[in-house]
Structure 1
């Protein structure tokens, strides 16, 4: 759990992404320019970029730390519920047999051990078939306890985000089912352990009592209920033992042992075994569904991020097959009416101060970090083409086809163009292989480039 920052699980990533979406829906959009740039730099499809953006925002705003606290609280809540299940199961076993001073009515004991368990099991099965959600009460209790134990105000959106995320694939039923059956399994195991401890240390007699019924229904019911446990080696009292138990307290140890074995078999087969099988089934379905869990990028909270995270010039490089040749450019094709000088930055992060101090006569066109800003500059250049255009690029980013196509299009609207490959910031180093990729791509485009600021060239037309 503590390595969530370095190695978040796929569920953690989608969970935090949903929490960020809910937070923005309730409190408004977050300041996300740097997060968007990091997501664009990371690349991938829209879902991957949305996830990258959300994880960065969650780490910055403390939501990732809140998730770690919430998961700690969830484990504590689960531990508390498990302890309660164990104590309850042991209490059932103790209440069913008593202190040994009085004979044990076998059917009352069986009813107290399995009655509530079977009723809840039938209710769960009915909910699975008709209602669609099961274990809601225990689930709400677990979520409530998790929040109380977490004690983190920033975790307010985590529980709703988990519920919304799981409901899309209807995984709530399997997660809550595993919780419910797991707790009942613990309770039944505790009951069996208590029964074994009491039967091993005390001397119990077993009877059945009735005022209205004859012995035959009890004999038949005992044999029917004991059929499945008998396949596992548990004893079933014969007819003589059953009749004797209805008349008086049997004195034979063999009868005591037969009833004790029958009672243990009933609890194991009809109480513990179904819960074990259902817990394994729910856990298997939960893990299968969890691995297929994906973000729904059609939601309004995600759809509006498309333009910011996948600008049109970048989507060209993802959607289309790679061309055999990069776009060609030949400088000097504009007429002599071009005048002035323009400096523009292409997708630069906040760590780099911008713009630099510019000489007189050089215009700052700002930063191109969205589709709107690119279209606006292209429209302006098409109407008032500059004589000289310098484009500052961050060589830490890969020269993808979308960026190169944009550079070529900008250059076709200027008399002369030069690419400024910005130096590394203090404490950073440039990837030589990536810088070489930039040089090769710009050479193929026919665009000159420089590692130093081309301010003299912009002002005077020469270095």
Structure 2
């Protein structure tokens, strides 16, 4: 398995860090604890507050398991879904304008056209406000459609936990309502802008007549309604038909040029003020809340999963300090006993039997980290190498043993603690033959780890950095 790079190597935005951390938490809740020994060790060596340690651990696991790549795929899917919805909004807006004005053969019923242009927009806006105030749902169907399309277009099985994790992060400060609200109002803003541009194009290239028709309402009703709706657009310079023009438009044969232009300006102004402007203001409002709340996001450290991680990332001995008196004599361990952080080159062996002489004669600049035989020795050496990573590390193995997964995982973990690493496949003692098939198994396994290996002692390379 290729070595995951340090989370600090690639700057990841704070929101993405929280997002990936929650995705790892949800994954562990559903599939059980992950193999996180190395991630925990690196996080402890990194130091910092518990929240930072948890995020460091999660990013290391996410990079190892391909979740960061899955996040990129999810973002690509989200962008594609956004493009699809924007195109749908553009087509919807243009369709509303075409349906409102028609082909120019028949006069345009101004209030029927206005209802076509603004009716659906105002109904959905009312639904959004009711959902926002009563149910706390600011995304509506469009927001949920975007999330669903994002997941489908990502086409990555590893992204299954990303959408739920994003919602968990956004629920902290109810940011989901602002993000989805921003998307909804942005789409309707796009649709209304498309409708206005289509109106301008049609009015500039076709000759339309405008009328109002009624059976049960009086002329004064249309006069008052037209002037009331035109009050705000008039403040921005849009034309409003006068009383005589409104009265004249009640006749189907009316086609005065001045009345045509007044009605066209009034229609565009009303659509801008009552269709486009509210969506623009609400989109800016949601965006302001989104930016303000995003800066205050953090991990909920009271979650059970994070309380359990506290014991592994901040053990009591580290958080509480020394609580017992020092013993008269400390236990002696050969593994890592000589390492003090000043070594540039280190040689370590894994599970050698008594027939293999150890240590070889080493140059003074090469430190002997001993033979790793048990879990405690491995943990202690890994902690030391993490704190003081050497420039070069040689790992001696006995190729008479089988390259089991545990040994290969340890070799990979040790190699990631040094700038350069090599594996020394030691020759068997005199008089013993080496199984060629087993040696080939070792070489294939080490090639899979992308680690250089040799049957010759790498002492010259350890001392000088070259052969």
Task: Give TM-score scaled by structure 2 length.
Answer: 0.72
Report if the CA contact (8 A) 2:348-2:372 is conserved. Answer: no
Report if the CA contact (8 A) 1:132-1:173 is conserved. Answer: yes
When the two structures are aligned, how many residues end up with a matched partner? 368
1:392 deviation in Å? 9.6
Q: Is 1:143–2:147 an aligned residue pair?
A: yes
Report if the CA contact (8 A) 1:89-1:188 is conserved. Answer: yes
Higher mean C-alpha deviation, range 128-137 or range 194-203: 128-137
Closer/same/farther in 2, CA of residues 344 and 217 from structure 1, 3 Å limit:
same
Which string of whole-angstrom CA distances, capped at 9 and with x for unpartnered residues, describes residues 128-160 of structure 1?
211111223112211111112111010000001
1:437 maps to what in 2?
none
Q: Is 1:219–2:223 an aligned residue pair?
A: yes
Of 271, 276, 279, 2:280 maps to 276
1:427 maps to what in 2?
420
SS at 1:305's partner residue?
A: helix
2:33 maps to what in 1?
29
1:382-393 to 2 correspondences below 5 Å: none
Report if the CA contact (8 A) 2:41-2:383 is conserved. Answer: no
Which string of whole-angstrom CA distances, capped at 9 and with x for unpartnered residues, describes residues 377-416 of structure 1?
xxxxxxxxxxxxxx99726527xxxxxxxxxxxxxxxxxx
Which string of whole-angstrom CA distances, capped at 9 and with x for unpartnered residues, describes residues 3-57 of structure 1?
9971211111110000000000000000000000011011111110000000000
Report if the CA contact (8 A) 2:47-2:53 is conserved. Answer: yes
Q: Is 1:314–2:323 an aligned residue pair?
A: no
2:376 maps to what in 1?
367
Report if the CA contact (8 A) 2:179-2:290 is conserved. Answer: yes
Report if the CA contact (8 A) 1:20-1:58 is conserved. Answer: yes
Which string of whole-angstrom CA distances, capped at 9 and with x for unpartnered residues, describes residues 163-192 of structure 1?
111011100110001000000000000000
1:454 maps to what in 2?
none
Report if the CA contact (8 A) 1:345-1:392 is conserved. Answer: no
Of 83, 90, 94, 2:98 maps to 94
SS at 1:235's partner residue?
A: coil
1:425 deviation in Å? 5.1
Which string of whole-angstrom CA distances, capped at 9 and with x for unpartnered residues, describes residues 316-365 of structure 1?
47xx9xxxxxx998xxx94xxx79855576999xx965678799xx9988
Report if the CA contact (8 A) 2:45-2:383 is conserved. Answer: no
**Mapped partners of 1:345, 1:125: distance in 2:** 66
1:57-456 to 2 correspondences below 5 Å: 57-316=61-320, 334=328, 341-342=332-333, 366-367=375-376, 394=384, 397=387, 427=420
Of 45, 69, 73, 2:49 maps to 45
Gaps of 5+ in 2: 1-6, 341-346, 358-370, 389-413, 422-467
1:249 deviation in Å? 3.1
Gaps of 5+ in 1: 321-326, 375-390, 399-421, 429-463
SS at 2:241's partner residue?
A: coil
Which string of whole-angstrom CA distances, capped at 9 and with x for unpartnered residues, describes residues 247-284 of structure 1?
23322110000000000000000000111111111111
**Mapped partners of 2:25, 2:178: distance in 1:** 25
1:382 maps to what in 2?
none
1:12 maps to what in 2?
16
1:427 deviation in Å? 2.0
1:367 deviation in Å? 2.3
SS at 1:367's partner residue?
A: helix
**Mapped partners of 1:5, 1:179: distance in 2:** 32
Cα RMSD for the two superposed structures? 3.4
Higher mean C-alpha deviation, range 253-262 or range 300-309: 300-309
**Mapped partners of 2:240, 2:8: distance in 1:** 54
1:426 deviation in Å? 7.2
Report if the CA contact (8 A) 2:350-2:372 is conserved. Answer: no
**Mapped partners of 1:356, 1:341: distance in 2:** 19
- Ranges of 4+ aligned residues in structure 1 off by more than 4 Å: 338-348, 351-359, 362-366
Report if the CA contact (8 A) 2:143-2:181 is conserved. Answer: no
